Amino acid sequence: MSTQTIDLTLKVWRQHKNNPRGSLETYPAKGISTDMSFLEMLDVVNEQLTAEGIEPIAFDHDCREGICGMCGAVVNGRAHGHMPETTLCQLHMRHFKNGDTIVIEPWRARAFPVIKDLVVDRNALDKIIQAGGYISINAGGPQDGNAIPVPRDNAEKAFNAAACIGCGACVAACPNASAMLFAGAKISHLALLPQGRPEAKKRALSMVRAMDTLGFGNCSNEAECEAECPKGISIREIARMNREFIKAALS
Amino acid sequence: MTLESKIPAGPLQDKWDRHRFELKLVNPANKKKFNIIVVGTGLAGASAAATLAELGYNVKNFCIQDSPRRAHSIAAQGGINAAKNYANDGDSIWRLFYDTVKGGDFRAREANVYRLAQLSVNIIDQCVAQGVPFAREYGGLLDNRSFGGAQVSRTFYAKGQTGQQLLLGAYSSLMRQVNAGKVEILPRREMLDVVLVDGKARGIVVRNLVTGELESHSAHAVVLATGGYGNAYFLSTNAMSSNVTAAYRCYKKGAHFANPCFTQIHPTCIPVHGTYQSKLTLMSESLRNDGRVWVPKEPGDNRPPGQIPESERDYYLERKYPSFGNLVPRDVASRNAKEQCDMGKGVGETGLAVYLDFADAIARDGRDVIAGKYGNLFEMYEKITGEDPYQTPMKIYPAVHYTMGGLWVDYNLMTTIDGLFALGEANFSDHGANRLGASALMQGLADGYFIIPYTIGGYLAGTKLPEVDASAPEFAESRSQIQSQVDKLLSVSGKRTVADFHRTLGNILWDYCGIAKEEESLKKAKQMIAELRAEFWENVTVPGDAADFNQALENAGRVADFMEFGELMVTDALERKESCGCHFNTAYQTEDHEALRDDDNYCHVSVWQYTGADSDPVLHTEPLEFENVELTQRSYK
Ligand SMILES: Cc1cc2nc3c(=O)[nH]c(=O)nc-3n(C[C@H](O)[C@H](O)[C@H](O)COP(=O)(O)OP(=O)(O)OC[C@H]3O[C@@H](n4cnc5c(N)ncnc54)[C@H](O)[C@@H]3O)c2cc1C
Ligand code: SF4
Ligand code: FES
């Protein structure tokens, strides 16, 4: 791929304590290499803003390889931008055209208050896991790792569900700001493994209850979450969670 | 001063057992009277915090990210070693021990490495029980592969996301303890100082990264699991927030720093392509199991790879190292890549890359098999470069990846400050001068699940610790020092951004203290870093306020520490007049261009004591004694 440079116009959500209601501000982004990642493009813009005495745009990021789940913003109305199964840090500028205007906003959900600009508080996702997203064993002397064979197919399905990076794009994409895909992924991951079965019912009940109390909405099968999930988590995980939940509620 | 490594007496195999027996125990009913601070939520920190809480201690666990699940361990790809010998191919605890000591070029402690190999088997059992979805065979048993420099298959993996799955396992145990009320998580906090009362670590001061407030937290002991400092080089495979600040500030308070120049440069990363670049992406070295590394035979041959016939390609690793081929250890692979590029045989736009070619593997095993093994890595490569590795060879180049150096610790993982422990990549660890693939995850989890829970008990049970709370004057003093540094950073109002300084520092370290070092250039680097540091305090610009979410300010503090620390790295490199593992001084090499050790004069850990910002640190040495292995010249021919 040959490198080119493009000129863009950014409309970026700016919000902080001196501007608590927030507003979109317009900045030029000139001479952007198409090999850059979206976040590198923001770095370049931030260097320019700093030089002009404007406070740089706050945005969360860390690994920049699509695995930590720290980055994320709504780009032209799409969570993590328009490329399928791609986190914002892995979105590259070769997917934009010279002259494009790009609107960049934070995740918007009742359960994710804005901290500053594009940075939101996703603590509620940890709280859902605290409600039961684990297997209750202590470090110590568990049996040999090969004592319980796990059919390869199940192990793979469990892995696919466990691949969730906890970014919260599913919540941001959902018209009800529901966290069903996130919770479903964890509940399925553990329910698919023999080690996770003993607590499967209790887990489903308490994690679903936690979602309600934390202010996440309900699932009305819009499937927007699946479309925006950077890790390809399938809405089948929600169906599996519902089955676990119903089993638990009936017993 | 003498460094007491506290290695237990007795035969190697019995040391850890014996030590565990000899350690004092904290009465179960008393554990809840102890508060422990764990800084870091990576594999080492999360496993330690969860396990200590399971035992009954009260734990406060800090991290920079918004959630403990995002620690940099999440990015580890390839796998974790364990001497399970499931593959029945001759592995054993002894072999893992031997490979690790040899791989580290005989610059690690025998006793520590043996313990690590022993504990490796428990880690896998623990993780399976937690629900870590490791790769499995059709029969339902755990699958293994061979990895970086090992001739047995002992690496457990979960696709190319092993670190993620292991960390989520540790995180789930941690969340369970939060639910049980035994762990308090304090995310978006950066530790900026360790606080000593009566010479013992009794707490920390952190900056709340949302409000900017400086908070004091007291405890009976402090555990540091803050990861590695590869970002000193600006470009590395580490996460953006990886830093030396936590460890460096402990160093300034009296925790000695060991082997700071031991940096691992990983051979298979996506090459640099522009000055705006913010980080380098690792392509797991598991790829070297099936990919073949080559360059054109003729310097300057810039035909596309498909047009270079077999006879005009040099598969230089296979040619030079017939028995290990593409699987030579990382340091050897990195040095060879640089050597080829220095000869003008590098490929790609910059000439700083070599090919990693899967064509033969795809022809042999079929695209599906290769996709099954490396699918996600290939996708990641394509996302970043826009090129499809199924069609055209990958381009790779070495990048800074891991730091073997770290805070010096004794066998109990305690630093030279009483009550301050260091785990995971933050300590100087068990990897000597070079870490083998899939061994960092193993070490982090061994430290956290299986070592610190015992050794911290020994410390707490055997030490008089009067009650101290955060109102002690030592905390106020520390806060005021930090505040004045923060104010200073904000008031310089110069012309250069923090990132710009960081990039310059990185270039100096990469050029002069990187893959190959030389005395003269190291001296030059030291001078250049000192000048850069002086300029920083006169010409840096840090926008925004102290009492706010301010990422530029966070970075400024980290870069200021990297600059002081960079000098220490260079000082250490200058002092070690030998080559060993990743530390390659061109003046000391064998005829085959391998690292030439000097066991008579340098078979030791270099341990540095801080003496002030503008005075030279003092060197102490811990001699390394090898009673169970013979020191040999590494050869991977
Ligand atoms: C891309 C990549 C791939 C890798 N692949 C492998 C592999 O396949 N196998 C293998 O064995 N190893 C691998 N490694 C190495 C391994 O991942 C790391 O060495 C290991 O995960 C480090 O774990 P840790 O717990 O010590 O630290 P980290 O995981 O780095 O965690 C550090 C923690 O400390 C916190 N922290 C840091 N500074 C502060 C501060 N000042 N205040 C508060 N908190 C702080 C952070 O927030 C974080 O929670 C890889 C490394 C990289 C970069
Ligand atoms: S399910 Fe997908 S979108 Fe939702 S948090 Fe997980 S990775 Fe992100
Ligand atoms: S920065 Fe880690 S997923 Fe994007």
Q: Is A86 in the pocket of ligand 3 (CB under 6 A)?
A: no
**A150 Cα to the center of ligand 1, angstroms:** 29
Q: CB-hemisphere CA count at 13 Å for A251?
A: 11
| Of residues A126, A140, A162, nearest to B133 (C-beta) | A162
Q: Give CA–CA dist A44/A57, Å, rounded.
A: 11
Whether A139 contacts B126, CB under 8 Å: yes
Per-residue model confidence (pLDDT) at position A2: 61
What pLDDT digit, counting tens, does each position of B273-299 carry?
888 899 999 998 889 989 999 999 999
The mean pLDDT of B68-91, rounded to a whole number, is 96
Per-residue model confidence (pLDDT) at position B329: 81
Q: Is the pLDDT of residue A251 over 80?
A: no
Task: Please answer yes or no on whether B380 and A65 come within 8 Å at the CB atom.
Answer: yes
The mean pLDDT of B415-434, rounded to a whole number, is 96
Pull the structure tokens for residue B90. Answer: 């001759």
- The rounded Cα B537 to chain-centroid distance in angstroms is 29
Counting every residue, how long is chain B? 637
Active site residue B330: yes
Per-residue model confidence (pLDDT) at position A1: 47
Task: Give residue B378's pLDDT band: very low, low, confident or very high (50, 70, 90).
Answer: very high
Q: Give CA–CA dist B604/B259, Å, rounded.
A: 10
According to the 3-state scheme, what is the secondary structure of B393-412? Answer: CEEEEEEEEEECCEECCCCC
What pLDDT digit, counting tens, does each position of B297-315 carry?
999 998 999 999 999 999 9
Q: Does the fold of domain B474-623 match that of domain B266-398?
A: no
Q: Give CA–CA dist A44/B239, Å, rounded.
A: 18
Mutate: best of A2, A43, A68, A213, partner B, most B CBs <10 A: A68
Please report, for residues A46, A105, A170, B532, the alpha-carbon distance to residue A108 in angstroms, rounded to integers and kept in the order given: 23, 8, 11, 42
**B221, β-bridge pairs:** B36
Pull the structure tokens for residue A131. Answer: 């409600």
Q: Give CA–CA dist A8/A42, Å, rounded.
A: 12
Q: Residue B122: closest CA among chain A residues belongs to which residue?
A: A141
Q: What is the pTM of this model?
A: 0.97
Taking residue B503's Cβ as centre, other Cβ atoms within 10 Å add up to 18
What pLDDT digit, counting tens, does each position of B106-163 carry?
999 999 999 999 999 999 999 999 999 999 999 999 999 888 668 899 999 998 899 9
What is the CATH code of the structural domain delimited by B474-623? Answer: 1.20.58.100
Q: Give CA–CA dist B128/B134, Å, rounded.
A: 8
**B168 Cα to the center of ligand 1, angstroms:** 13
What pLDDT digit, counting tens, does each position of B51-76 carry?
999 999 999 999 999 999 999 999 99
Domains of chain A: 5-105 (3.10.20.30), 123-138+147-250 (1.10.1060.10)
What pLDDT digit, counting tens, does each position of B569-600 carry?
999 999 999 999 999 999 999 987 889 999 99
Q: Whose CA is nearest to atom 2 of ligand 1?
A: B76
Query: Residue A8 in 3-state DSSP?
Result: strand
Residue appearing with tokens 């109390």 = A213
Q: Give CA–CA dist B596/B576, Å, rounded.
A: 12
Terminus-to-terminus CA distance in chain B, angstroms? 42
Whether B572 contacts B261, CB under 8 Å: yes
Q: Which fold has domain B266-398?
A: Flavocytochrome C3; Chain A, domain 1 (3.90.700)
Per-residue model confidence (pLDDT) at position B149: 65
Whether B243 contacts B255, CB under 8 Å: no
Per-residue model confidence (pLDDT) at position B375: 85
ipTM reported for the complex, 2 dp: 0.98
Report which DSSP code applies to B589: B
Q: Give CA–CA dist A41/A143, Å, rounded.
A: 50
Q: Indicate the domain borders of chain B.
A: 266-398, 474-623
Q: Is B73 in the pocket of ligand 1 (CB under 6 A)?
A: yes
What pLDDT digit, counting tens, does each position of A64-98 carry?
999 999 999 999 999 999 999 999 999 999 999 99
% of chain B surpassing 70 pLDDT: 100
Please report, for residues A1, A2, B395, the alpha-carbon distance to residue B349 in angstroms, rounded to integers and kept in the order given: 10, 9, 11
The mean pLDDT of B173-196, rounded to a whole number, is 98
Per-residue model confidence (pLDDT) at position B147: 81
What pLDDT digit, counting tens, does each position of A94-113 carry?
999 999 999 999 999 999 99
Q: Is B458 in the pocket of ligand 1 (CB under 6 A)?
A: no
Q: Is the pLDDT of residue A141 over 80?
A: no
Q: Is the pLDDT of residue B34 over 90?
A: yes
Q: Annotate B522-578 with DSSP letters as a single string.
A: HHHHHHHHHHHHHHHHHHEE--S-SSS--HHHHHHHHHHHHHHHHHHHHHHHHH--S
Please, what is the Cα angle at B170 between A225 and B152, to 5 degrees?
105
